[in-house]
């Protein structure tokens, strides 16, 4: 696993959700504010950059590029 990325499971735990599927669905439909998902040959791929997620947790704001 890339150290610069965070898994949907870790995100769910850190934001107090008991089910990582909530995060996955948000990534798939674009409602989760950090990261994205796309469908690969073997299923969904989830990309959540760790640093922007940490910033979001601390400030409640999405860091602009």
List pLDDT tens digits, range 8-61.
999 999 999 889 999 999 999 999 999 999 999 999 999 999 999 999 999 988
Buried/exposed code over 10-37 (b: 16+ C-beta within 10 A; e: otherwise): bbbeeeeeeebeebbebbeeeebebbeb
| pLDDT computed for residue 3 by the predictor | 81
In a domain, 42, yes or no: yes
Quote the pTM value: 0.86
In a domain, 26, yes or no: yes
In a domain, 23, yes or no: yes
| pLDDT computed for residue 65 by the predictor | 64
Number of domains within the chain: 1
Backbone angles phi, psi at 17, to 5 degrees: -95, 140
In a domain, 27, yes or no: yes
Q: Which domain holds residue 50?
A: 8-59
In a domain, 64, yes or no: no
In a domain, 3, yes or no: no
* List of residues 6+ apart from 13 with CB closer than 8 A: none
């Amino acid at each position: 696993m890339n150290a610069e990325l965070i898994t949907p499971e870790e995100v769910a735990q850190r934001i107090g959700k008991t089910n990582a599927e909530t995060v996955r669905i948000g990534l798939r439909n674009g409602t989760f504010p950090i990261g994205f998902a796309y469908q690969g040959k073997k299923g969904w791929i989830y990309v959540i950059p760790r640093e922007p997620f940490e910033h979001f947790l601390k400030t409640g704001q999405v860091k602009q590029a």
